[in-house]
Amino acid sequence: MGDIVFAIVAIVIGIAASYGLFGLLNFLLSLLPARIYQKNSWLAFLTPAAVLVILVLVMPLFQTVIWSFKDKGVKEWVGFKNYVNIFTDVHFLAILLNNFLWVLVVPAVTVAIGTIVATLTNQVGPTLEKIFKSLIFMPMSISFVAASTIWAYFYAYTPPGRPVIGLLNAIVGWFGIGSQPWITIDQGRLNSFLLMAVLVWLQVGYAMVVISAAIKAVPEETIEAAQLDGANAWQLFAGIVLPQIWGTVMSVFITVLILVMKIFDIILAMTRGNFTTGVLALEWYNRFFVDSNLGSASAVVTVLVILIAPLMWLQINTARQQEILR
Amino acid sequence: MNKIAHLVRRLNLGSTVALLILVAIWLAPTIGLLITSLRPNEMAQTSPWWDAFLNPLSTVWTLDAYQHSLQSGMLDSLINTFAITIPATILPLMIAANAAYAFTFLDFKGKEVYFAVLVGLLVIPVQSSLLPVLRGMVWFQKTFHIPLTGTYASAWVVHSAFALPLAIYIFRNYMMTLPKELIEAAKVDGATSYQIFWQLVLPMSIPSIASFAIFQFLWVWNDYLIAFIFVGEQKPVMTYRLLRLLGQFGQGWRDVAAGSFISLIIPLIVFFSLQRYFVRGLLAGSVKG
Most confidently modeled range among A59-73, A207-221, B61-75, B234-248 = A59-73
Question: Chain A: nearest CA to B67, how far in angstroms?
Answer: 18
Sequential DSSP letters for A240-294: IIHHHHHHHHHHHHHHHHHHHHT--HHHHHHTTTTTTT--HHHHHHHHHHTT--H
Q: Which of B26, B153, B283 lies at the smallest CB-CB distance from A135?
A: B26
Nearest 5 degrees, angle CA B194-CA B196-CA B200? 135
> What are the residues whose beta carbons fall under 8 Å from the beta carbon of A173, sequence distance 6 or more?
A164, A179
Judged against a pLDDT cut of 80, whether residue B7 lies above it is answered with no
Alpha-carbon span A31 to A25, nearest angstrom: 10
Q: Determine the residue of chain B that is closest to A25 in CA distance.
A: B194
Is the Cβ–Cβ distance between B221 and B266 less than 8 Å?
yes
Contact A143 B223 (CB under 8 A): yes
> What are the residues whose beta carbons fall under 8 Å from the beta carbon of B107, sequence distance 6 or more?
A42
Strand partners, A77: A70
Check residue B11 and give its pLDDT.
58
Can you give the pTM of this predicted structure? 0.91
> What are the residues whose beta carbons fall under 8 Å from the beta carbon of A81, sequence distance 6 or more?
none
Alpha-carbon span A221 to B149, nearest angstrom: 60
Burial of B226 per CB tally in 10 Å (0-12, 13-18, 19+): buried
Q: Over the stretch A34-58, which tens digit does the pLDDT of each residue have? A: 788 777 888 889 999 999 999 999 9
Check residue A316 and give its pLDDT.
82
Alpha-carbon span A326 to B101, nearest angstrom: 18
Letter for the amino acid at A243? P
Is the Cβ–Cβ distance between B134 and B154 less than 8 Å?
no
Judged against a pLDDT cut of 60, whether residue B145 lies above it is answered with yes
Contact B132 A140 (CB under 8 A): no
Question: Chain A: nearest CA to B161, how far in angstroms?
Answer: 5
Question: Chain A: nearest CA to B246, how far in angstroms?
Answer: 7
Q: Report how far apart the first and last C-alpha atoms of chain A are (Å, whole number).
A: 53
Interchain contact B210–A (C-beta under 8 A): no
Report the pLDDT averaged over residues A237-243. Answer: 90
Q: Which residue, A271, A304, A322, A302, is CA-closest to A64?
A: A302
Q: Over the stretch A190-201, which tens digit does the pLDDT of each residue have? A: 999 999 999 999
Question: Chain A: nearest CA to B250, how far in angstroms?
Answer: 13
Is the Cβ–Cβ distance between A241 and A218 less than 8 Å?
yes
Segment 106-135 of chain A within 8 Å of chain B by CB: 117, 120-121, 123-125, 128, 132, 134-135
b/e per residue, B27-56, with b = 16+ CB within 10 A?
ebbbebbbbbbbbebebbbeebbebbeeee
Q: Over the stretch B68-127, which tens digit does the pLDDT of each residue have? A: 889 888 999 999 999 999 989 989 998 999 999 999 998 888 888 999 999 889 889 999
Q: Is A77 helix (H, G, I), strand (E, B) or coil?
A: strand
Report the pLDDT averaged over residues A82-106. Answer: 95
Q: Which of B32, B127, B271 lies at the smallest CB-CB distance from A141?
A: B271
Contact B288 A251 (CB under 8 A): yes
Alpha-carbon span B50 to B39, nearest angstrom: 12
Check residue B251 and give its pLDDT.
61
Contact A163 B47 (CB under 8 A): yes
Nearest 5 degrees, angle CA B91-CA B93-CA B98? 105
Q: Which residue, A229, A53, A201, A318, is CA-closest to B124?
A: A53
In the predicted model, what is the mean pLDDT of chain B? 87
Report the pLDDT averaged over residues B219-239. Answer: 93
CA A293 remoteness from chain centre: 26
Check residue B289 and give its pLDDT.
30
Alpha-carbon span B178 to B170, nearest angstrom: 13
| Chains A, B: CB pairs < 8 Å | 320
Alpha-carbon span A237 to A2, nearest angstrom: 60
ipTM: 0.89
Contact B48 A163 (CB under 8 A): yes
> What are the residues whose beta carbons fall under 8 Å from the beta carbon of B103, sequence distance 6 or more?
A46, B111, B114, B115, B168, B172
**pLDDT band for position B6 (cuts 50, 70, 90):** low
Contact A145 B94 (CB under 8 A): no
Is the Cβ–Cβ distance between A204 and A110 less than 8 Å?
yes
Question: Chain A: nearest CA to B16, how far in angstroms?
Answer: 6
Q: Over the stretch B146-195, which tens digit does the pLDDT of each residue have? A: 888 888 889 999 999 999 999 999 899 889 888 888 888 998 888 888 88
Interchain contact A58–B (C-beta under 8 A): yes
Check residue B250 and give its pLDDT.
55
Contact A45 B49 (CB under 8 A): no
